[in-house]
Chains A and B, each alone.
Chain A
């Protein structure tokens, strides 16, 4: 992938113009199904011999833990919260994502600067300031935006354990119930994502359909950007979940259709019984 930043490069890193890895971003609001898609994507790529590194927000070693602690106390102002997240993101980008990209991994990240900007924007931070703040971020190879409506989100949020304080924006909203806050906060977040879709060229994945169909879409978009990293040789398939989507690789066993194989087996059985 090309080493490109949104605005200004990370100081002191001295990156080459090209990185051997790929950066794939899975974006979308809370409980839209990002982690399921990530797991499927990871095992699909790994079975094909592609090295995958996955990562997510607030998992950084520098500030990740302290952000969680600070959230317990609900004591952060919006700007402080925003910059705390930015610190954690910068640490993860520099010490985890960039080294993996340098080593040729496909880095799949659960959320990127877009979620961080959306969260801060709905809490009143200026959009222009946010875009410049995150100007040090690498431009991803592909951003898959899992799109859903608030009504589509409700059953997922409920089955994931109900409405969460932060996912309902209760730190800044003054709504009567968690439900009201959730709807208001999530609608605002979705509007931010919607606005960013054209601006950043998101690839939109319909997250309202079932997981399998959603994943077929994911595969269809991921394949072209990783195809050159796939080693030749047999594909080890997962008997429990072999994705329906078959990328354009041409292999002998793929050419043989299922009916052909059935015919072979039946012929063999018939020969035996004769």
Chain B
């Protein structure tokens, strides 16, 4: 990955399996930064308008295989890097990313892609200033997701892998695989682990304490209270 020190801005990313609480935490962090008068820019997984049509067509018609699934997300990520990550970093802003390359490493790894190939594919990514990993036991995450949102999508549940005929069963098996991948990734990339079973406020306190030392000299937000697009609703 590319060193982030070459930019004036700072890049903070959150990672974790579905239901780990990472989106809640980064949303709170975003609002805190704005409240402190910082320019914060939000960049989300799967958000490139250019690639969106292809991704949704592929997902809707189940056209994606592990290799194409991986590449279309890398395309999305490249567009995101070229548009919403590097420019605000150059400008000196705090850039927040909900899911980053580690999501690809975990998901594509769980789909059987060669780990060395995936890492090489994403070698153009900027290394985050801090990469948070929200660790929760599988049962906790499954309970959070399955109790609130029973309508699981085909790829989200890993149905393309043929792990199980039942969607919920497949989702559980797939998430277990992803969790295993994350465990390797956390060590490999030295991610900052937050206990995702702690109360939301306690986690947020820890996140802020870790982020704060990096905020000196960052771009202030404009006076009208707006700064970059707000986070979208829902999961990527």
Which residues of A line the B interface, CB within 8 A?
7-12, 61-63, 66, 69-70, 75-77, 79-80, 82-84, 86-87, 90-91, 94-95, 129, 132-133, 135-136
- Distance between Cα atoms of A131 and B51 in the complex (Å): 23
Specify which chain B residues have a CB less than 8 angstroms from the CB of A70 in the assembled complex: 50
Specify which chain A residues have a CB less than 8 angstroms from the CB of B81 in the assembled complex: 79
Nearest chain A residue, comparing its CB with the CB of B117:
A8
Most chain B CB within a 10 A radius of its CB, from A76, A80, A82: A80
CB distance from A169 to the nearest CB of B (A): 18
Most chain B CB within a 10 A radius of its CB, from A11, A79, A90, A91: A11
Further 19 A-B residue pairs, CB within 8 A, beyond A12-B67, A84-B51, A91-B68: A8-B116, A10-B67, A11-B114, A12-B111, A12-B112, A62-B54, A62-B64, A62-B68, A70-B50, A75-B50, A80-B50, A86-B74, A87-B54, A90-B67, A90-B68, A91-B65, A95-B63, A129-B123, A132-B120
Given A62-B68, A77-B79, A94-B65 in contact, is the A133-B120 Cβ separation under 8 Å?
Answer: yes
Contact of A12 among B65, B82, B120 (CB under 8 A): B65
CB distance from A216 to the nearest CB of B (A): 38
Given A62-B54, A77-B79 in contact, is the A7-B117 Cβ separation under 8 Å?
Answer: yes
Cβ of B186 under 8 Å from chain A: no
Interchain CB contact under 8 A, B82 and A77: yes
Which residues of B line the A interface, CB within 8 A?
48, 50-51, 53-54, 57-58, 63-68, 71-72, 74-75, 78-79, 81-83, 111-114, 116-117, 120-121, 123-124
Given A11-B66, A79-B81 in contact, is the A132-B50 Cβ separation under 8 Å?
Answer: no
- Distance between Cα atoms of A91 and B58 in the complex (Å): 10
- Distance between Cα atoms of A124 and B112 in the complex (Å): 30
Enumerate 27 A-B pairs (CB-CB under 8 Å) in ascending A order. Answer: A7-B117, A9-B114, A11-B111, A11-B113, A11-B114, A12-B67, A12-B111, A66-B53, A66-B57, A70-B50, A77-B79, A79-B82, A80-B48, A80-B75, A80-B82, A83-B74, A84-B51, A84-B54, A86-B71, A87-B72, A90-B67, A90-B68, A94-B67, A94-B68, A129-B120, A132-B120, A136-B67
